[in-house]
Amino acid sequence: MALFSRTKKTAEAPEKKTPAGKGAPLLARASAILALRVTEKATKESEQNTYTFNVRPDATKTEIREAVKGLYKVDPLTVKIVPVRAKALFQRGKRGRTSAGKKAYVTLKKGDHIEFT
């Protein structure tokens, strides 16, 4: 009966993860961007070729630049990263917090734009 066999199973070596950079596949680089940040301020800035994205907390400027290139086929001029702090809430008699994170301002050259549908 194989259920109680005395042979030991060999453990497979876990795969090494490559950092998201030039050698990483497109999906790994694209995962630096979580979502487009849709706010009144972000909408006004998109008219000036500056787009705002919610990004992973551990994402770097290089990863974000590569993700924008891969997803939207445009070359960003600058990438600025700003931390988003958690805020205290009081709703329905309970205290809580909003989630913290990071946002990125990506500026494109004149004439380039990102089309969101």
Q: Are 36 and 51 in contact (CB under 8 A)?
A: yes
- Whether the predicted pLDDT of 73 surpasses 70: yes
* pTM (two decimals): 0.70
User: How far, in Å, CA of 84 to CA of 42, rounded?
Assistant: 14
Q: What is the DSSP letter of 94?
A: E
What's the pLDDT score for residue 12? 64
Confidence of residue 13 (pLDDT cuts 50, 70, 90): low
Task: pLDDT band for 26, please (50, 70, 90 cuts).
Answer: low
What value does the mean pLDDT take over residues 78-92? 95
Rounded to whole angstroms, how far apart are CA atoms 105 and 37? 10
- Label residue 20 exposed, middle or buried (CB < 10 Å: 0-12, 13-18, 19+): buried
